């Protein structure tokens, strides 16, 4: 009942926001050129999905985001597990990670364009670089701070290092890893839109840019709604995966 009440409250807050938006648009406090009504935005959204190219733009953004995030996930978790499992690796590689981590992903876009051109590969590379850090650092932390008593149990059972990593360290680090994956997915969506705007790639970023240049505010807001929906659905999906993967913690 408590969870249902919170969901109803969340829907109520959303309805209140749409109501305020509609009132401001109807009273023309903000010029209609810049703030369309919710009805005009909804019409633009449906028209773009069913009769325009908004569906293909949505597919492009999803492919860029998910491919970049998947590459970052595989590399981030694998490297994080290796670095986190070894004190010596953390000492040697730590300074390099601290040098690269603060670099904004947008700063490497010119380098990526030089290497890959204005192609989807460029976007995937930038997305992977930008979204790998939450996953990598979370995995390093998870593997580095495994409960010492668990490691003593592994040694008492004469487990190999690989077996201990998979059977003890990985389950212990899983909460950190899943948190990093969720943060990385948010970064991947942001960078997908930025790359599409800069490189003119097929996606919601280019849709937003073209709509802004043509002063089509309903199309702009329709794109923003889709981006919000992508973030909400992706976060909900990862929350379900996290709940299933960590249900043993509630026992």
Tens digit of each residue's pLDDT (9 = 90 or more) over 79-131: 888 887 777 777 777 777 777 777 777 778 888 888 888 888 889 999 998 89
The 3-state secondary structure of 63-90 reads HHHHHHHHHHHHHHHHHHHHHHCCHHHH
Q: Is there a single domain that holds both residue 61 and residue 172?
A: yes
Q: Is there a single domain that holds both residue 97 and residue 11?
A: no
Question: What tens digit of pLDDT does each residue of 155-208 get?
Answer: 666 666 666 667 777 777 888 888 899 999 999 999 999 999 988 888 899 989
Q: Decide if pLDDT at 70 tops 90.
A: yes
Q: What is the pLDDT of residue 156?
A: 67
Pick the most confident of 92-106, 138-152, 210-224.
210-224
173: tokens are 């680090």
Pick the most confident of 6-10, 13-17, 146-150, 222-226.
222-226
Q: Is there a single domain that holds both residue 20 and residue 41?
A: no
Angle at which helices 87-100 and 120-144 pack, to 10 degrees? 140
Q: Decide if pLDDT at 63 tops 90.
A: yes
What's the CA gap between 127 and 95, in Å, rounded?
23
Q: Is there a single domain that holds both residue 116 and residue 42?
A: yes
Lowest mean pLDDT across 75-79, 80-84, 224-228:
80-84
Q: Is there a single domain that holds both residue 75 and residue 134?
A: yes
CA quadruple 157, 158, 160, 165: dihedral sign: positive
Q: How many helices (H) and strands (E) does the chain have?
A: 11, 0
Question: Is residue 133 within 8 Å of residue 185, measured between CB atoms?
Answer: no
Range of the domain at 214: 36-250
Percent of the chain with pLDDT over 70: 89
Q: Is there a single domain that holds both residue 50 and residue 23?
A: no
Q: Decide if pLDDT at 251 tops 60.
A: no
Q: Which has the closest alpha carbon to 131: 180, 80, 93, 84? A: 180
Q: Tokens 């204005």 identify what position?
A: 118
Q: Is there a single domain that holds both residue 31 and residue 137?
A: no
Q: Decide if pLDDT at 46 tops 80.
A: yes
Q: What is the pLDDT of residue 86?
A: 74
Q: Decide if pLDDT at 232 tops 80.
A: yes
Q: Is there a single domain that holds both residue 28 and residue 67?
A: no
Q: Decide if pLDDT at 20 tops 80.
A: yes
Q: How confident is the prediction for the chain on average, in pLDDT? A: 83
59: tokens are 């597919």
**CATH number of domain containing 111:** 1.10.3720.10
User: Once rounded to an integer, what is the mean pLDDT over residues 137-150?
Assistant: 79
Which residues lie below 8 Å from residue 9, measured CB to CB, with a gap of 6+?
none
Q: Is there a single domain that holds both residue 106 and residue 218?
A: yes
Q: Is there a single domain that holds both residue 15 and residue 55?
A: no
User: Once rounded to an integer, what is the mean pLDDT over residues 30-44?
Assistant: 87
Q: Is there a single domain that holds both residue 108 and residue 143?
A: yes
Percent of the chain with pLDDT over 90: 18
Tell me the whole-structure pTM to 2 decimals. 0.85
> In terms of pLDDT, which residue wins out, 26 or 102?
26
What is the tally of structural domains in the chain? 2
Q: Is there a single domain that holds both residue 29 and residue 108?
A: no
Local confidence band at 220 (pLDDT 50, 70, 90 cut-offs)? very high
What's the CA gap between 241 and 249, in Å, rounded?
14
């Amino acid at each position: 009942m408590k969870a249902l009440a919170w969901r109803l409250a969340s829907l109520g807050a959303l309805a209140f926001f749409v109501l305020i938006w509609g009132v401001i648009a109807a009273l023309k406090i903000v010029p209609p050129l810049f703030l369309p009504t919710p009805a005009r935005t909804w019409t633009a959204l449906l028209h773009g999905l069913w009769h325009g190219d908004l569906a293909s733009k949505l597919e492009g953004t999803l492919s860029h985001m998910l491919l970049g995030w998947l590459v970052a996930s595989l590399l981030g978790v694998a490297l994080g597990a290796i670095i986190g499992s070894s004190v010596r690796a953390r000492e040697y590689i730590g300074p390099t990670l601290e040098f690269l981590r603060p670099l904004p992903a947008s700063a490497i876009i010119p380098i990526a364009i030089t290497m890959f051109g204005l192609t989807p590969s460029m976007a995937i590379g930038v997305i992977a670089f930008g979204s790998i850090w939450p996953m990598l650092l979370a995995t390093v932390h998870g593997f580095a701070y495994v409960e010492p008593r668990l490691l003593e149990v592994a040694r008492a059972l004469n487990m190999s290092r690989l077996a201990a990593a998979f059977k003890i360290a990985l389950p212990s680090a899983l909460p950190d890893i899943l948190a990093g994956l969720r943060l990385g997915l948010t970064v991947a969506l942001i960078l997908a839109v930025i790359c599409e705007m800069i490189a003119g790639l097929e996606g919601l970023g280019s849709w937003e840019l073209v709509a802004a240049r043509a002063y089509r505010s309903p199309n702009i807001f329709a794109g923003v709604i889709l981006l919000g929906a992508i973030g909400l659905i992706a976060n909900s999906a990862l929350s379900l995966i996290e709940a299933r993967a960590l249900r043993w913690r509630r026992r």
